[in-house]
């Protein structure tokens, strides 16, 4: 006959485990969840726990490095049941060892939530991989029964306790792209696009506790005492893996031909159509031109605060060369003044140059070419 020591009930722990297994979409951005099997593309796909650690150096750009979670093991000493002899020198209880607990360290590998590179006019797909906290079991322990003559002390067992593993599926947001300038047509509008944020919720594996086991003492007829035996309770702490978010991103809408954006490795240039910004032979900013400059200002504000900026004015070849040079410089200065006064950009960052008709980008033999040459170029080193 076995006696069972009371064990700590774990209703809250079970609820927490269940909560950790929730598949509800908490991304706030419409991301798509993918299980570990879907991510690998096979029913026999390996667990996320089998993956190698991600290298922080590989989490470039907008990608997010997810630190590994180290789960310390639990080790307890064995309990020795001593040898006992009766008054006659006979061994009535042999020395025995009750093994201690030896739960090894566990680990949730480091990961990388990726944001893919994308062509111009697109925002790359974002993906957070699935993750998992492994289960843990505290094994049962048994204190053997004692029996000698008419004296009997029952065996006592503390049952094994398991805290189940928890998993969270991966989440993805697909690449999004604006329509092309060809699709929008000259003078058409390219609408903004937004790649939603994605969120992989946190996970929690509940703590586990195996209660203590206790076998009481006894005394033989000759007065020999059989000492009590106690195996202390064992606890494994709960484990948490924090939630991971990749923020959403937006490409702003723009009108075709209003602004040409040219990006190099260490520079960016905004080409502004002077006919949008100014009336003929004028250096006063049009209302419609102000909208265009506001869009450019928003992009300039995303650059480093100390990035130097050049404003270069250009004209077609109509009229006097000196007049064109003066007009191009006044227009470039008008753009800088507007950005400083209306958008609070630092005037000291700007250098203004008027090139007049000396640097055409198209032929001045027709109206279409002349329009392309009438421009203000805003460029910055980044």
pLDDT confidence of residue 58: 87
Q: How far apart are CA 229 and CA 215, in angstroms?
A: 5
Q: How far apart are the first and last CA of the chain?
A: 80
For residues 212-235, give the mean pLDDT: 97
The overall average pLDDT reported for the chain is 86
Q: Report the percent of the chain where pLDDT is more than 70.
A: 84
For residues 353-365, give the mean pLDDT: 93
pLDDT confidence of residue 18: 33
pLDDT class of 10 with cuts at 50, 70, 90: very low
For residues 206-221, give the mean pLDDT: 97
Q: How far apart are CA 217 and CA 227, in angstroms?
A: 5
Query: Where is pLDDT greater, at 217 or 271?
Result: 217
DSSP assigned state of 27: -
Strand partners, 190: 254
Instruction: Kindly tell me if the per-residue pLDDT of 5 is higher than 50.
Output: no
So where are the chain's domains?
2-249, 257-381
Q: Highest-confidence range of 5-9, 55-59, 109-113, 364-368, by mean pLDDT?
A: 109-113
3-state secondary structure of 14: helix
Least confident residue range of 67-71, 258-262, 276-280: 258-262
Strand partners, 96: 81
Q: What one-character-per-residue DSSP string does 299-344 give? A: HHTTS-TT--EEEEEE--S-S-HHHHHHHHHHHHHHHHHHHHHHH-
Instruction: Kindly tell me if the per-residue pLDDT of 119 is higher than 90.
Output: no
pLDDT class of 226 with cuts at 50, 70, 90: very high
Just give the CATH number of 257-381.
Answer: 3.30.1330.60
10 Å CB burial of residue 158 (0-12, 13-18, 19+) is buried
Full-model pTM: 0.58
Q: How far apart are CA 31 and CA 174, in angstroms?
A: 8
pLDDT tens profile 39-62: 444 444 578 889 999 999 989 888
pLDDT tens profile 281-309: 999 998 878 888 988 898 899 889 889 99
């Amino acid at each position: 006959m076995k006696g069972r020591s009371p064990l700590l009930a774990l209703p809250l722990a079970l609820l927490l485990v269940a909560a950790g297994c929730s598949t509800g979409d908490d991304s706030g951005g419409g991301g798509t969840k993918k299980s570990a099997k879907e991510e690998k593309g096979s029913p026999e796909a390996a667990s996320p726990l089998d993956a190698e650690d991600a290298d922080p150096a590989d989490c470039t750009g907008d990608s997010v490095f997810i630190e590994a979670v180290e789960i310390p093991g639990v080790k307890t000493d064995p309990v020795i049941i001593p040898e006992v002899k009766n008054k006659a020198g006979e061994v009535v209880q042999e020395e025995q060892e009750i093994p201690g607990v030896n739960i090894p360290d566990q680990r949730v590998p480091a990961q990388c939530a990726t944001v893919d590179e994308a062509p111009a006019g697109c925002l790359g797909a974002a993906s957070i991989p699935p993750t998992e906290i492994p289960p843990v079991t505290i094994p049962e322990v048994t204190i053997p029964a004692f029996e000698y003559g008419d004296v009997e002390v029952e065996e006592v067992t503390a049952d094994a306790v398991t805290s189940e593993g928890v998993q969270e599926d991966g989440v993805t947001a697909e690449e999004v792209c604006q329509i092309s300038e060809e699709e929008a047509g000259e003078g058409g509008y390219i609408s903004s696009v937004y790649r939603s944020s994605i969120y992989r919720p946190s996970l929690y594996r509940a703590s586990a506790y195996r209660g203590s086991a206790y076998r009481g003492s006894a005394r033989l007829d000759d007065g020999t005492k059989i000492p009590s035996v106690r195996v202390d309770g064992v606890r494994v702490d709960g484990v948490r893996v924090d939630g991971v978010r990749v923020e959403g991103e937006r490409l702003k809408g723009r009108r075709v031909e209003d602004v040409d954006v040219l990006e190099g490795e260490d520079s960016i240039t905004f080409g502004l159509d002077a006919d949008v910004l100014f009336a003929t032979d004028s250096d006063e900013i049009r209302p419609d031109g102000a909208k265009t400059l506001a869009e450019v200002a928003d992009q300039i504000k995303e650059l480093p605060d100390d990035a130097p900026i050049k404003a270069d004015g250009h004209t077609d070849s109509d009229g006097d060369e000196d007049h064109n040079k003066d007009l191009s410089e006044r227009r470039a200065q008008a753009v800088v003044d507007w950005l400083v006064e209306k958008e609070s950009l630092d005037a000291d960052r700007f250098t203004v140059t008027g090139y007049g008709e000396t640097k055409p980008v198209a032929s001045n033999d027709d109206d279409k070419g002349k329009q392309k040459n009438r421009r203000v170029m805003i460029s910055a080193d980044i």
